[in-house]
Amino acid sequence: MSDAVAGDGFVREIPFRGAATIEEVAAAAGVSRSTVSRVVNGSTAVSPAALDAVNRAIAELNYVPNRAARSLASRQTRALALVVPEDTTRFFGDPFFASIVSGINAGLRSSDYVLNLFIASDDPGDKTTSYLRSGSVDGALIASHHTSDTFIDRIAAAVPVVYGGRPVRERGTDYYVDVDNVRAGYDATRYLIEQRYADIGTITGPLTMPGGVDRLTGFRQALAEAGLPEGALADGGFTTDGGATAMRRILDAGPPPRALFIASDLMAQGAISVLAGAGLKVPTDVAIIGFDDSPVAETVSPPLTTIRQPSFEQGEQMVTVLLDLLAGGTPPHATILETELIVRESS
């Protein structure tokens, strides 16, 4: 059998009993055993067609390499992975990631585990997944994932996983550390209502992410409870540029709302710059409340009223849960941390 995909271009069906073997994956994909071995070990010396066929066969057979199983049983690698399905610009530009990685590092300090970082943006998940399923790590931490990041399911099928944030497809077997984003969005909006603002809009995070969806849900709950209509809404993508673009869209649509709940400090920073360019002052013309209480909140002018989320503690707790799992413990499936309203000059 050669490294080429089966002649008909499709993965062949084979009978499956118990745990799949590397030979069964090779037969299903129509490639050699060595090709499957190269794929699961993350080698780039595989044709795109063969890579696709092997990954489809792995997914269909739910194949976990024997080496990974031995590693999980003995925990001899002493390595963990942090997988961040974002581009490098967002990863290195968002203080949230610096804080959560610092927390993860602090959580690992007293252990003998080392951390491998995977910024899985341009890779659709194949290279990262193959490496993590090969037995090279004992477990994985997943931060900031979207509905399109289905490759994470293949990682979770091979090694213990702890999510930073509620998983996109939450299952009873998942473990995650998060804040109550619905409550936090509600608290932020409720604060603006209590300041007697009646025309309140929002700039959301990506609605492909649970955090973005949940904060918007809380915003809407607070308005509905107060009997107020929903103001202007735009998606700012959790970035400074995205917040600026969203603010321009809101201004282009008509007079801005009297107040805005903006679901991250970075987006608020971008929005404030656009408002200033339009001759509008914060909070005189538009009051703003952000989210994160990142360093940006204190350096932007005026300093931001914001919701503080404990990102450093979140990283520490993610490690605590994962190490507990690897030691055979039974940690809680959901660890929910407290947020706090921080009042400054923007509202």
Average predicted confidence (pLDDT) for the chain: 86
Kindly state whether residues 172 and 187 are assigned to the same domain: no
Please tell me the predicted confidence (pLDDT) of residue 42.
62
Please tell me the predicted confidence (pLDDT) of residue 3.
46
> Which of 19-33, 113-127, 234-248 has the lowest average pLDDT?
113-127
Distances (CA, A) of 303 to 121, 210, 269: 32, 27, 10
From 19, 41, 63, the end of a domain falls on 63
* Domain around 16: 1-63
Give the CATH number for residue 28: 1.10.260.40
Kindly state whether residues 324 and 281 are assigned to the same domain: no
Total of domains in the chain: 3
Domain annotation covers residue 281: yes
Domain annotation covers residue 343: no
Q: Where are the alpha helices (DSSP H) in 200-283?
A: 210-226, 240-253, 265-277
Kindly state whether residues 250 and 145 are assigned to the same domain: no
CB 200 within 8 A of CB 193: yes
CB 13 within 8 A of CB 28: yes
Domain annotation covers residue 344: no
CB 239 within 8 A of CB 204: no
**Which pLDDT band holds residue 347 (cuts at 50, 70, 90)?**
very high
CB 161 within 8 A of CB 154: no
Domain annotation covers residue 95: yes
Three-class secondary structure of residue 138 per DSSP: coil
Please tell me the predicted confidence (pLDDT) of residue 66.
57
Kindly state whether residues 287 and 264 are assigned to the same domain: yes
Domain annotation covers residue 303: yes
Compute how many other C-beta atoms are within 10 angstroms of the C-beta atom of residue 11: 23
Kindly state whether residues 203 and 188 are assigned to the same domain: yes
Please tell me the predicted confidence (pLDDT) of residue 12.
44
**Which pLDDT band holds residue 122 (cuts at 50, 70, 90)?**
low
From 29, 63, 97, the end of a domain falls on 63
Give the CATH number for residue 114: 3.40.50.2300
Q: Pick the closest to residue 92 from 221, 240, 213, 282 (CA basis).
A: 240
More confident residue, 256 or 61: 256
Kindly state whether residues 109 and 51 are assigned to the same domain: no
CB 340 within 8 A of CB 297: no
> Which of 36-45, 110-119, 206-215, 270-279 has the lowest average pLDDT?
36-45
Please tell me the predicted confidence (pLDDT) of residue 19.
64
* Residues 325-335: tens digit of each pLDDT: 988 888 999 99
Kindly state whether residues 174 and 213 are assigned to the same domain: no
User: What value does the mean pLDDT take over residues 157-162?
Assistant: 88
| 342 burial type by CB count under 10 A (0-12 exposed, 13-18 middle, 19+ buried) | middle
Domain annotation covers residue 38: yes
Kindly state whether residues 101 and 154 are assigned to the same domain: yes
* Residues 278-317: tens digit of each pLDDT: 999 999 999 999 999 999 999 999 999 999 999 999 999 9
Kindly state whether residues 212 and 114 are assigned to the same domain: no
Please tell me the predicted confidence (pLDDT) of residue 306.
98
Kindly state whether residues 236 and 190 are assigned to the same domain: yes
Spatial neighbors of 84 by CB under 8 A, at least 6 apart, are 91, 97, 117, 118, 119, 120, 142, 143, 144
Three-class secondary structure of residue 341 per DSSP: strand
- For residue 205, is pLDDT > 50? yes
Kindly state whether residues 153 and 295 are assigned to the same domain: no
Domain annotation covers residue 116: yes
**Which pLDDT band holds residue 78 (cuts at 50, 70, 90)?**
confident
Percent of the chain having pLDDT more than 70? Answer: 88
User: What value does the mean pLDDT take over residues 139-155?
Assistant: 82
Domain annotation covers residue 68: no
Kindly state whether residues 186 and 301 are assigned to the same domain: yes
Please tell me the predicted confidence (pLDDT) of residue 65.
65
User: What value does the mean pLDDT take over residues 95-107?
Assistant: 92
